[in-house]
Amino acid sequence: MSDKIAFVFPGQGSQYVSMGKELYDHFFHLGDTVFEICGKITGLPIKKICFEGSIEELTSTDVLQPALTAVEIMIANIVMESGIKPDVLAGHSLGEYSALAISGILNMGDTFKLVKERGRLMEDECQITQGAMAAIIGLDMKTLNEMLADFSPKGVLVPANHNSPEQIIVTGEKKLLDEFIPLVKQKGAKAIPLKVSGAFHSQLMQGAKDKFASLLKNTAFYQPIFNFYSNVTGNNEKDPAKIRLLMAEQLISPVLWVKEVNSMKEFGVNIFIEIGPKQVLSNLIKKCNLPGDIRIYSIENLAGLEKCLKEIG
């Protein structure tokens, strides 16, 4: 049986100014279409912000979400135009929207409408709630859940992302996280506060979820062209109606990335291609210690594309 290929798309935190520019300069006929649609939907000069803006402007949640999605969709189109087609698509948090667009579950216009509103609603919710997040390194999920159980009567503090066997993101009320971090260090593990504006993937995003669900109801979701794996279930999801519900749940649910990666491997994926800036997902997949011959590529520039084409194209 031939190897199956997965395109995986990173989420918020992987951005940098000039992301995607080198590939755009070589394939502008593909990039212009994406940026034009994104600009019309958002009313923002997305291409200029991505390539020439300040990191402060780019990192604002309501700007970043459509900007990163546009770059990832552009790169995926370039890779497919160059001859590499995926069998499987998955994204990490925001990155799921790039996967939805490439899979055909959403059309491109609706993709940008949703990420624009998702970013705005999340930013609004961050102003209301005092949330924070931290990466916990060196504790397994069982131990972490046992520790978090003591905080449950006090308020919201829960796992957000199961990124790898050794890295779990915790999200919730800032005052509780400030109490929790010293306890993690007492266990001999690391706790690294994240530079985010709120407690994403927790109940503190419930207000955003409720409003976003209303928007999703009026958005057309189609049958996937490629296999699509969900952050919420960690499984291959094929029913458009269920996927619509999952995209609302995603705002308050943990990202089950370890389960997702293992599910893709069980499906037959041996080649993972990260589509987008930096190599966050590539590094997390390596730490999942998957069995067999696993090849991992990252395409954020021309060198990454050429390496991928040479070895598997």
Q: What positions carry a catalytic annotation? A: 93, 201
Cβ neighbours of residue 194 under 8 Å, at least 6 residues apart? 13, 132, 133, 134, 135, 169
- Residue partners of 97: CB distance under 8 A and separation at least 6: 65, 69, 91, 106, 111, 114, 115, 118
Angle between helices 302-312 and 61-81 (to 10 degrees): 40
Give Cα separations from 138 to 33, 52, 175 (angstroms): 44, 38, 22
Q: Residue 229, SS3?
A: strand
Q: What is the distance between the alpha carbons of residues 11 and 97, in angstroms, rounded to a whole number?
A: 9
Name the token pair of 45.
Answer: 């000069």
Residue 274 CB burial class (10 angstroms; 0-12, 13-18, ≥19): buried
Q: Are 254 and 158 in contact (CB under 8 A)?
A: yes
| Helix %, strand %, coil % of the chain (to 5) | 50, 15, 30
Instruction: Please name the helix (run of DSSP H) or strand (run of DSSP E) that holds residue 243, with its range, or none.
Output: helix 240-249
Report how far apart the first and last C-alpha atoms of the chain are (Å, whole number): 17
- For 260, other C-beta atoms within 10 Å of its C-beta total 26
Residue 241: count other Cβ atoms within 10 Å of its Cβ. Answer: 8
- The C-alpha angle 119, 152, 176, rounded to 5 degrees, equals 65
